[in-house]
Every structure is written in C-alpha cells, then in structure tokens.
C-alpha cells in the first residue's frame, strides 16, 4: 500500500508541474527540468541496482550514495522515490531513506517559497 502510494505521490508531483505549465503558471523549462532530472535519477538507481546485484559475484564499483542524494536534492526526488519503490533498491537502509526524505522536504519547501514569493 505504501509502495504504490509513494509512486503515485511522485507521479502526481510531476503531473502537477505539467498541469501548471498548461495553465500558464510556470515556464516550460520547469516541468521539463523536473521530468528530465527524475528520469536521470531513475536511470542512476537502476544502474546502481544492477551493480549491486553484480557485486554478489564479483567486485564492481557502485554509484556513491551522495551522488544519488545530490540528484534527489537537485529535483530528481520523484524519480528516486519511484525507483526506490519499484526496484526495491536502497529501501532498507534507514539512514539513506531519512536523507532522501530530507531532500524531498527541502525541495517542497523551496518550491512553496518560490511559488508564494516569486510567482
């Protein structure tokens, strides 16, 4: 239940950006940026999951967690949340999950500030 709710939450966030663009409330580059950085983040999670599976058999280099967190912080958190839930990657590490949620809250607070005072 929580898994599908988080995927829906992330998807709705991206959809609301596109809806805001269609209502001429934001410029086109914002929904494109959020969609693109989310896709890139999803690909990074997928790549790291693949490397994690390979690391059971041999020594491989993984994507550092700080890179995944930076992608989430720069707006790719919807893709990170979707990847985390759908791929079951980094879904058991409590510290990683806590930092991801801090990134999500920072993004939403920044967006709220931007919406209230800039727009």
What is the per-residue pLDDT for 115?
76
pLDDT at 112: 86
Contacts 24+ apart (CB under 8 A), 44-51: 44/68, 44/71, 45/79, 45/80, 45/83, 45/84, 45/87, 45/89, 45/90, 46/83, 46/87, 48/89, 48/90, 49/83, 49/87, 49/89
Q: What is the pLDDT of residue 102?
A: 96
CB-hemisphere CA count at 13 Å for 58? 3
Residue 31 confidence (pLDDT): 93
User: What pLDDT is recorded for position 79?
Assistant: 96
pLDDT in tens, the chain (119 residues): 677 898 999 999 999 989 999 998 888 999 999 999 999 999 999 999 999 888 878 888 889 999 999 999 999 999 999 999 999 887 778 899 999 999 999 999 998 888 777 65
């Amino acid at each position: 239940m929580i898994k599908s709710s988080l995927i829906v939450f992330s998807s709705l966030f991206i959809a609301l950006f596109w809806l805001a663009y269609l209502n001429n409330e934001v410029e086109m580059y914002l929904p494109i940026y959020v969609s693109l950085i989310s896709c890139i983040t999803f690909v990074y999670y997928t790549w790291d999951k693949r490397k994690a599976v390979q690391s059971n058999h041999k020594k491989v280099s993984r994507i550092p967690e700080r890179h995944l967190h930076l992608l989430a912080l720069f707006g790719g958190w919807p893709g990170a949340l979707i990847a985390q839930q759908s791929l079951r990657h980094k879904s058991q590490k409590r510290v990683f999950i806590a930092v991801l949620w801090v990134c999500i809250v920072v993004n939403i607070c920044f967006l709220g500030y931007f919406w209230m005072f800039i727009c």
